[in-house]
């Protein structure tokens, strides 16, 4: 069975010839470079592409590139299997032997605007040949890739994207989807950087191994020179990767700066002027920021779409948890002008929120344990009736969105109370009910309703100790929950809720 390779992975090549193919959503051009140990061509004859379809040991054969290592020119140490496209595209590549038997596959998802990709390396190790998955690329296309390997190209290299090319928010209103796309771009850029780092280390190990493989050249000036050259090549690869990642981060930071002033309040930073303007509806809320200190200073907003289908559960019972809840509540209220707020706070955690959010309260906050059960049952009954009415009467008017804060869970809440909360979660999306829970993350509570609610909620840490793996590349990010600057909490609560209450 063929093995799917990852970037940097290598294996012996036993077949006398190998066919390189690639599939992508857009047309691609297959090319090959025959290079020396320094990854440079000796002449233009070492390049195989549509205008020069063959050279010694390498040829284009329809939609495949065929490499026969034994027939390469003298002095050839590697063959780089390359492809180019008109735009950035994911690519699935494969290597087969001369009989058509699949040897291995390798998928490449360009993360930093690369339109020319180094896919595979077929290289000599001693008297044998090996294959290695590369996955590196060039945003400047094939012209930039060719120049990097010593090929003379007449066409000028395309200019790198500048700050002026950052999209203008005037063409389309920035939204949750816009920020999610920026997050995806930053994730793929980070993954490309990490992949390049791993590849550089693999190449350094291989080059150092080759430098000491021959006992005759294991010591002395030649050995020192070979080791120094290996470290120089590794540093060049690392520097190029760092430069690309730094440029990507600068572009995304500028885009976030431009977009922030045009985002609706629920998605914008707390410094944005939109918090002084009239409230505008939104399709999501910001719940925190993501960063990777070892990969630069870029901070990407992490957002969730609306309506919320699961409760947001802030794990903690201290001041940090209360700060996160307050920020989430204000963003949820701002996302739906005209929405109302219900607070169940038997632990007395939120006096400031209860006081300053008075203009948008749906009723008196519940601060006594005895009031928890009737409040939750009433909310659940009404929500189910509204849902039933909407399903039987197409003309029914959907009620205004609601935000429900449950503080201090599980203390002060009976098992029946938790069942009522579960009833609310079943219709939360249809009725635009956003539930925010603050309380213990203690999963040893012996109550089936508590465990079910705990498992069905989206948990957020109350402090900057969380980690988040992005859904595209699995890269690890450091999560910092969103909080209102301490000096602005009361002012923002009063100003924003007063405007929302007047809607």
What pLDDT does residue 159 have?
34
Cβ neighbours for 53, distance < 8 A, ≥ 6 positions apart: 59, 60
172: pLDDT confidence band, cut at 50, 70 and 90?
low
161: pLDDT confidence band, cut at 50, 70 and 90?
very low
What pLDDT does residue 154 have?
61
Q: What percent of the chain has pLDDT over 70?
A: 92
Distance CA 250, CA 295 (A): 12
Which tokens hold the place of 76? Answer: 């050839």
Question: For the chain, how big is the Rg over CA atoms in Å?
Answer: 29
Q: What percent of the chain has pLDDT over 90?
A: 47
Chosen CATH of 285-501 out of 3.40.50.300, 3.30.70.120, 3.20.20.120, 3.60.15.10: 3.40.50.300
Give the pLDDT confidence of 217-276 residue by residue, as tens digits: 667 787 788 888 888 888 888 888 888 788 888 888 888 888 888 899 999 999 998 998
Strand order, beta sheet including 64-67: 3-4, 102-108, 91-97, 18-23, 64-67, 58-61, 54-55
What pLDDT does residue 285 have?
96
Does residue 342 contact residue 357 with C-beta atoms inside 8 Å?
A: no
Residue 126 has φ and ψ, to the nearest 5°, of: 65, -125
Q: Which residue has the higher pLDDT, 230 or 402?
A: 402
Long-range contact set of residues 143-152: C-beta below 8 Å, sequence gap at least 24: 144/116, 145/82, 145/84, 145/116, 145/118, 146/33, 146/47, 149/33, 149/35, 149/39, 149/40, 149/41, 149/80, 150/35, 150/40, 150/41, 151/33, 151/41, 151/44, 151/47, 152/44
Q: Which residue has the higher pLDDT, 411 or 286?
A: 286
Where b means 16+ CB within 10 Å and e means fewer, 446-457 reads eeebbeebbeeb
Q: What is the mean pLDDT of residues 387-411?
A: 79
What pLDDT does residue 443 have?
58
Tell which residue, 170, 173, 144, 167, has the closest CA to residue 157. Answer: 144
What pLDDT does residue 463 have?
84
For residue 23, list its beta bridge partners: 92
Does residue 111 contact residue 149 with C-beta atoms inside 8 Å?
A: no
Q: Which residue has the higher pLDDT, 1 or 78?
A: 78
Give the pLDDT confidence of 465-488 residue by residue, as tens digits: 778 888 877 788 999 999 999 888
What pLDDT does residue 155 have?
47
292: pLDDT confidence band, cut at 50, 70 and 90?
confident
Mean pLDDT of the chain: 86
| Range scoring the smallest mean pLDDT among 300-304, 381-385, 395-399 | 395-399
Does residue 106 contact residue 93 with C-beta atoms inside 8 Å?
A: yes
Give the pLDDT confidence of 347-360 residue by residue, as tens digits: 899 999 999 999 99
Q: Where are the alpha helices (DSSP H) in 25-108?
A: none
**What homologous superfamily does CATH list for 1-159?**
sav2460 like domains (2.60.60.30)
Distance CA 412, CA 429 (A): 26
Cβ neighbours for 331, distance < 8 A, ≥ 6 positions apart: 265, 266, 267, 285, 286, 482
Q: What is the mean pLDDT of residues 81-101?
A: 92
Q: Which residue has the higher pLDDT, 491 or 170?
A: 491
Q: Which residue has the higher pLDDT, 357 or 213?
A: 357
pLDDT of 170 higher than 80:
no
Cβ neighbours for 271, distance < 8 A, ≥ 6 positions apart: none
Query: If you count them, how many residues does the chain have?
Result: 503
Tell which residue, 405, 284, 392, has the closest CA to residue 344. Answer: 405
pLDDT of 13 higher than 50:
yes
| Range scoring the smallest mean pLDDT among 87-91, 99-103, 240-244 | 240-244
Total-model pTM: 0.67
156: pLDDT confidence band, cut at 50, 70 and 90?
very low
Q: Which residue has the higher pLDDT, 495 or 173?
A: 495
What pLDDT does residue 393 have?
65
- The string of DSSP letters for 164-212 reads GGSPPTTSS---HHHHHHHHHHHHHHHHHHHHHHHHHHHHHHHHHHHHH
What pLDDT does residue 189 have?
80
Tell which residue, 472, 4, 479, has the closest CA to residue 194. Answer: 472
| Range scoring the smallest mean pLDDT among 150-154, 365-369, 451-455 | 150-154
442: pLDDT confidence band, cut at 50, 70 and 90?
low
Does residue 180 contact residue 304 with C-beta atoms inside 8 Å?
A: no
394: pLDDT confidence band, cut at 50, 70 and 90?
low
Q: What is the mean pLDDT of residues 172-197?
A: 80
What pLDDT does residue 3 have?
81
């Amino acid at each position: 069975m063929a093995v799917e390779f990852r970037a940097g992975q290598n294996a012996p090549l036993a077949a006398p010839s190998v066919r390189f193919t690639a599939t992508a959503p857009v047309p691609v051009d297959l090319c090959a470079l025959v290079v020396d140990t320094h990854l440079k061509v000796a002449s233009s004859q070492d390049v195989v592409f549509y205008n020069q379809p063959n050279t010694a040991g390498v040829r284009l054969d329809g939609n495949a590139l065929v490499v026969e290592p034994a027939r390469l020119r003298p002095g050839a140490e590697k063959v780089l299997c390359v492809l180019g496209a008109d735009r950035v595209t994911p690519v699935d590549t494969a290597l087969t032997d001369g009989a058509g038997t699949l040897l291995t596959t390798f998928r490449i998802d360009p993360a930093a605007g690369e339109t020319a990709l180094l896919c595979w390396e077929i290289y000599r190790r001693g008297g044998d040949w090996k294959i290695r998955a590369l996955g590196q690329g060039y945003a400047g296309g094939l012209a930039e890739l060719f120049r990097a390997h010593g090929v003379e190209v007449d066409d000028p290299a395309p200019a790198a994207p500048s700050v002026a090319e950052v999209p203008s928010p005037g063409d389309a209103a920035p939204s949750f989807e816009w920020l999610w796309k920026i997050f995806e771009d930053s994730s793929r850029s980070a993954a490309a950087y990490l992949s390049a780092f791993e590849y550089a280390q693999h190449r350094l190990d291989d080059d150092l191994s080759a430098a000491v493989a021959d006992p005759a050249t294991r010591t002395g000036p030649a050995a020192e020179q070979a080791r120094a050259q290996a470290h120089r090549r590794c540093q060049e690869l690392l520097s190029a990767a760092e430069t690309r990642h730094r440029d990507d981060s600068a572009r995304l930071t500028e885009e976030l700066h431009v977009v922030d002033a045009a985002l609706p309040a629920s998605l914008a930073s707390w410094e944005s002027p939109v918090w002084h303007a009239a409230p505008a509806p939104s399709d999501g809320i910001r719940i925190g920021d993501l960063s990777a200190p070892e990969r630069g200073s870029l901070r990407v907003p992490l957002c969730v779409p609306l309506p919320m289908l699961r409760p947001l559960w802030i794990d903690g019972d201290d001041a940090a948890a209360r700060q996160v809840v307050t920020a989430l509540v204000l963003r949820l209220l701002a996302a739906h002008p005209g929405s109302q707020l219900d607070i169940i706070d038997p632990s007395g955690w939120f006096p400031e929120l209860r006081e300053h959010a008075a203009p948008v309260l749906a009723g008196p906050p519940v601060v006594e344990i005895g009031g928890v059960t009737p409040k939750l049952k009433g909310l659940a009954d009404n929500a189910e009736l509204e849902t039933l009415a909407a399903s039987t009467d197409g003309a029914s008017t959907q009620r205004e969105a609601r935000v429900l804060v449950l503080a201090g869970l599980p203390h002060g809440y009976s098992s029946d109370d938790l069942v009522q909360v579960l009833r609310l979660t079943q219709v939360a999306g249809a009725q635009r009910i956003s539930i925010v829970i603050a309380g213990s993350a203690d999963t040893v509570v012996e109550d089936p309703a508590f465990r079910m609610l705990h498992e069905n909620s989206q948990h957020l840490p109350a402090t900057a100790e969380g980690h988040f793996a992005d859904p595209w590349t699995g890269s690890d990010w450091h999560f910092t929950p969103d909080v209102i600057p301490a000096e602005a909490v009361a002012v923002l609560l009063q100003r924003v809720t007063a405007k929302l209450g007047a809607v």
